[in-house]
Amino acid sequence: MANIHNFEVKTIDGASKSLADYKGKALVIVNVASRCGLTPQYAGLEALQKEFGPQGFAVLGFPANEFGAQEPGTDAEIKTFCSTSYDVSFDMFSKVKVKGDGIHPLFAALTGDEKHGGEIKWNFNKFLVDKEGNVVGRFEPQVEPSNPDFRTAIQKTLV
């Protein structure tokens, strides 16, 4: 798989950002949605950001509308929802396609990964990336951010 540090993305405010800016940090890349039964995971993701952020960790949220049209808003509406409903401080990005025609190149690479790939089936799929930009784990939507196995995997990337 291509190193994720080689990708360019757009922030939720529309600015270009290189994922190379995250070199040296462990990451969780997650496709998010505001009107999903799993939306409360925003709170758990924010808790992870606050706990592990000072140790070189970042959550990267990518809104997507492929599943049940549960992220229909504009980037500005999504940003407002995240800040007012969950006080999200982790980095959020512009809405992307995470499967099918028009899939964002980052998600094409993530889902094409030999070991951790495969089509994303729902919102809040979490890809764990090490400090060098390699995907080292994938956690399905039903795995809560507080899940002990998920937390342990994050901690291992911080060593």
The set of catalytic residues is 36
Six-digit token string for 74: 């504009």
Residue 87, by phi and psi: left (phi above 0), alpha (psi -120 to 50) or beta? Answer: left
In whole angstroms, what is the distance from residue 60 CA to residue 126 CA?
Answer: 10
Q: Phi, psi at residue 137, to the nearest 5°?
A: -170, 160
Residue 103, number of CB atoms within 10 A of its CB:
20
> What is the H or E stretch that residue 59 is in?
strand 57-63
